[in-house]
Copies of this chain bind each other. A is one copy, B any other.
Amino acid sequence: MSTIPYKTYLEESEMPKQWYNVRADMKNKPAPLLNPATKQPMTAEELSVVFCKELVDQELNDTDAFIDIPQEIQEFYKMYRPSPLVRAYCLEKALDTPAKIYYKFEGNNTSGSHKLNSAIAQAYYAKKQGLKGVTTETGAGQWGTALSMACAYLGLDCKVFMVKVSYEQKPFRREVMRTYGADVTPSPSETTEVGRKILEAHPGTTGSLGCAISEAVEVATHSEGYRYVLGSVLNQVLLHQSIIGLESKTAFDKIGVKPDVIIGCAGGGSNLGGLIAPFMGEKLRGENDYQFIAVEPASCPSFTRGKFAYDFCDTGMICPLAKMYTLGSGFIPSANHAGGLRFHGMSSTLSQLYHDKLMTAVAVEQTSVFEAAEKFARIEGILPAPESSHAIKVAIDEALKCKETGEEKTIFFGLTGTGYFDMVAYQKFNDGVMTDYIPTDDDLAVGFAGLPEV
């Protein structure tokens, strides 16, 4: 047995006091958000209608590499962080691989995922600005839960639009959010203008993150003292989530290990962007090399089959345009149990890095993901979220490649969360009735046809 422990925790004194802003080290900066009417870069003033002021500053800041984490947020982080960096000894043994496998486990908090890292930051700035509350969307429900928790802690009102398919598949998620005092509406709903329009155009739709975003933004911009907050995609979110990568980097340094391959699931990019941030920084600065792999569902393949273009972030087309790998804001992915990976687009920052070939991406099918999830649950003792299991699937694939080649690579992946609220999906898998959905080129053409001209 090696002297490296199963789990490496940082001391509180070793926890990051600043977030890392990878954009500062990027030669090719991510393209700015555009005003959909003027096609000009959104100004801070324009963005402040939707977002809190300090978050707008963070969104637009592509020059400062480090941004202080306010003391209050540091204290909140100490309630559930540091998260452990885990050496997957049992998985290595079961796979009989020479590879060393590590994962950063973000699921040990009640939101069940890494989402709390940004939720508390966004809620904090809203509170500081003297707002009454915030609105948001949620897919898998992890972001909505995280925001509910953060708002309950700070005494803010919280209105959540939950993608209808998740609302139905995860009946108990709503109760967790309600326990934290949030108001939860299935989306699309009749409560907003944009919701009514979407329902008229797509009767019976099970919704999408893009729809839910439109509704949440509408409510925020039409209610006094409210702003909209988003759990992924945005630069500010990746900034907050850098805590994952920063803690990981410090823990790796502590045990004297350097990962070779870094793997993360990618929906809007919140986890992946945060996980890889400091490692990507070293790569950008030429200090170290790493292989980065984004894993997305074959049913919603924005990196691997999308276009790098300006697009709306929402289905209702009321949000700014972002340059990103996208399937088109009109693309509504077919049913898939990884609700958190059903976004049509991708973080502009990650899109630029991918476009510049600084990272790679792979799309995997649902049933193979659940096979990996079940294996992992039985071997490593953690029931993973379907989203996280995308990364597990590829980590196992990479470890098995090492078994063939004999390479002793160090594989590191982000285990973003737990699957306790995904038992409908696990039940389908257990019953052998889970299927795979892969959009045809014709399906994708529909989404691409709706891309705006810029």
- Residue ranges of A at the interface with B (Cβ–Cβ < 8 Å): 5-7, 9, 11-12, 78-80, 90, 108-110, 112, 116, 149, 152-153, 171-172, 175-176, 178-181, 374, 377-383, 418, 420-421, 423-424, 426-427, 430
Q: How far is the CB of A234 from chain B (nearest CB, A)?
A: 24
Q: How far is the CB of A274 from chain B (nearest CB, A)?
A: 19
**A383 contacts across to B, CB distance below 8 A:** 110, 176, 179
CB-based contact A381/B109 at 8 Å = yes
Q: How far is the CB of A167 from chain B (nearest CB, A)?
A: 14
Q: How far is the CB of A283 from chain B (nearest CB, A)?
A: 31
**A382 contacts across to B, CB distance below 8 A:** 109-110
CB-based contact A7/B149 at 8 Å = no
Q: How far is the CB of A168 from chain B (nearest CB, A)?
A: 14
CB-based contact B5/A78 at 8 Å = yes
CB-based contact A110/B377 at 8 Å = yes
Question: Which residue of the partner chain, among B7, B12, B108, B179, contacts A374 with CB atoms under 8 Å?
Answer: B179
Q: How far is the CB of A298 from chain B (nearest CB, A)?
A: 22
Q: A5, A7, A172: which has the most chain B beta carbons within 10 Å? A: A172
Complex Cα gap A377–B79 (Å): 12
Q: How far is the CB of A426 from chain B (nearest CB, A)?
A: 5
Q: How far is the CB of A148 from chain B (nearest CB, A)?
A: 9
Complex Cα gap A217–B5 (Å): 39
Q: How far is the CB of A175 from chain B (nearest CB, A)?
A: 4
Q: How far is the CB of A82 from chain B (nearest CB, A)?
A: 9
Complex Cα gap A78–B421 (Å): 26
Complex Cα gap A12–B108 (Å): 19
**A180 contacts across to B, CB distance below 8 A:** 377-378
Complex Cα gap A131–B450 (Å): 62
Complex Cα gap A424–B377 (Å): 25
**A176 contacts across to B, CB distance below 8 A:** 383, 420, 423, 426
Given A176-B426, A420-B421; 14 other pairs, CB 8 A cutoff: A6-B78, A6-B79, A7-B78, A108-B108, A110-B381, A152-B377, A153-B381, A171-B423, A172-B172, A172-B424, A175-B426, A178-B426, A178-B430, A179-B430
Q: How far is the CB of A384 from chain B (nearest CB, A)?
A: 9
**A421 contacts across to B, CB distance below 8 A:** 420
Complex Cα gap A79–B149 (Å): 27
Complex Cα gap A426–B149 (Å): 15
Complex Cα gap A379–B153 (Å): 6
CB-based contact B179/A80 at 8 Å = no
User: Which 8 interchain pairs have the tightest Cβ spacing?
Assistant: A172-B423, A175-B423, A6-B78, A420-B420, A152-B378, A110-B383, A5-B12, A175-B427
**A79 contacts across to B, CB distance below 8 A:** 6, 90, 380-381
Q: A7, A79, A176, A374: which has the most chain B beta carbons within 10 Å? A: A79
Cβ contacts A to B, 24 pairs, < 8 Å:
A5-B11, A5-B12, A7-B12, A79-B380, A90-B153, A109-B381, A110-B382, A116-B381, A152-B378, A153-B378, A171-B423, A172-B423, A172-B427, A176-B420, A176-B426, A178-B426, A178-B430, A179-B374, A179-B378, A179-B383, A179-B430, A180-B377, A180-B378, A420-B420
CB-based contact A381/B80 at 8 Å = yes
Q: How far is the CB of A389 from chain B (nearest CB, A)?
A: 12
**A181 contacts across to B, CB distance below 8 A:** 378
Complex Cα gap A11–B9 (Å): 9
Chain B residue, CB-CB nearest to A9: B9
CB-based contact A426/B5 at 8 Å = no
Q: How far is the CB of A17 from chain B (nearest CB, A)?
A: 14
**A149 contacts across to B, CB distance below 8 A:** 378, 381
Chain B residue, CB-CB nearest to A374: B179
Q: A149, A382, A383: which has the most chain B beta carbons within 10 Å? A: A383
Chain B residue, CB-CB nearest to A421: B420
Chain B residue, CB-CB nearest to A120: B381
Q: How far is the CB of A73 from chain B (nearest CB, A)?
A: 13
